[in-house]
């Protein structure tokens, strides 16, 4: 007797999931503080390390991707060119496992990327963190003036308004059944996206 193959689950018309915040209250506190420390940089939230690293030997990409695909830091700081200058983990109630911490410390140090573990109750001096991630010369370069920060906030606010309108439009299309036909009629199957960790993409032609 052969076991009857299980039926493939089809994609639901209404997904049984709800949205949730990217960060908890402790992480949000550190997030907002980092924005004041690095107003001239971008603070990325829970970005996988595979997004800004790549194997030295391309043929080993899949093996190392399996090892590292679940590794991420609470926050990743990058400049306007998309170059990562430092990573921050927020200490949670359950702490941070020694193995997890050592993996990221070693990996990031060998890539020339700074790494700190912070607690919202005992944040370091802003100058110390900037110097660690940007080098000693960062102490001589001042973050943007208040007027520049206000201008950046205005642009960011306008961008959020556009994104909210687009998100609302896509949401109503999905509810009306006008979404991608492949999503409406397809079966639940893995949809892997191209990952630059596994191969050189246009964005990786220039050295990081």
Domain, as residue range, for 162: 144-188
pLDDT for the residue 208: 42
pLDDT for the residue 7: 63
Across the strands, what pairs with 48?
Answer: 72
Sequence-ordered list of residues with C-beta below 8 angstroms from that of 124, at least 6 positions apart, any chain: 116, 118
* Angle at CA of residue 31, ends 204 and 19, nearest 5°: 85
Say yes or no: 162 and 90 in one domain: no
SS3 content of the chain, % helix, strand, coil (to 5): 45, 10, 45
The residue among 109, 126, 141 that closes a domain is: 141
Residue 39 belongs to some domain of the structure: yes
pLDDT for the residue 203: 47
Q: Measured on CA atoms in the order 144, 121, 43, 171, is the torsion positive or negative?
A: negative
Grouped pLDDT means (10 residues each) for the chain, 208 residues: 63 92 94 96 96 90 89 96 96 85 95 95 94 80 58 64 66 55 50 58 48
What is the total count of domains within the chain? 2
3-class secondary structure per residue, 119-168: CCCCCCCHHHHHHHHHCHHHHCCCCCCHHHHHHHHHHHHHHHHHHHHHHH
* Angle at CA of residue 156, ends 151 and 159, nearest 5°: 130
Say yes or no: 55 and 129 in one domain: yes
Say yes or no: 107 and 125 in one domain: yes
Say yes or no: 35 and 134 in one domain: yes
pLDDT for the residue 185: 52
Sequence-ordered list of residues with C-beta below 8 angstroms from that of 141, at least 6 positions apart, any chain: 134
pLDDT for the residue 28: 96
pLDDT for the residue 96: 84
Encoded tokens for 67? 């090892």
The residue among 141, 161, 180 that closes a domain is: 141
Length of the chain: 208
Encoded tokens for 8? 């493939």
For 108, the enclosing helix (H) or strand (E) is helix 98-110
């Amino acid at each position: 007797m052969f076991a009857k193959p299980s039926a493939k689950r089809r994609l639901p018309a209404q997904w049984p999931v709800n949205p949730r915040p990217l960060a908890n209250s402790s992480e949000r506190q550190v997030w907002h503080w980092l924005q004041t420390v690095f107003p001239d940089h971008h603070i990325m939230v829970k970005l996988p390390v595979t997004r800004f690293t790549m194997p030295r030997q391309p043929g080993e990409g899949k093996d190392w991707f399996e090892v590292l695909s679940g590794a991420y830091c609470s926050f990743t700081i990058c400049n306007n060119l998309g170059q990562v200058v430092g990573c921050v983990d927020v200490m949670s109630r359950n702490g941070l496992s020694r193995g997890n911490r050592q993996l990221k410390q070693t990996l990031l140090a060998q890539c020339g990327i700074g790494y700190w573990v912070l607690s919202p109750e005992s944040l370091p001096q802003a100058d110390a963190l900037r110097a660690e991630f940007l080098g000693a010369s960062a102490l001589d370069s001042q973050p943007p003036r208040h007027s520049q920060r206000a201008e950046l906030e205005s642009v960011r606010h306008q961008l959020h308004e556009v994104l909210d309108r687009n998100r609302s439009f896509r949401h109503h299309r999905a509810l009306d059944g006008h979404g991608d036909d492949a999503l409406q009629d397809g079966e639940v199957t893995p949809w892997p996206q191209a990952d630059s960790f596994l191969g050189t993409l246009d964005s990786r032609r220039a050295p990081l």
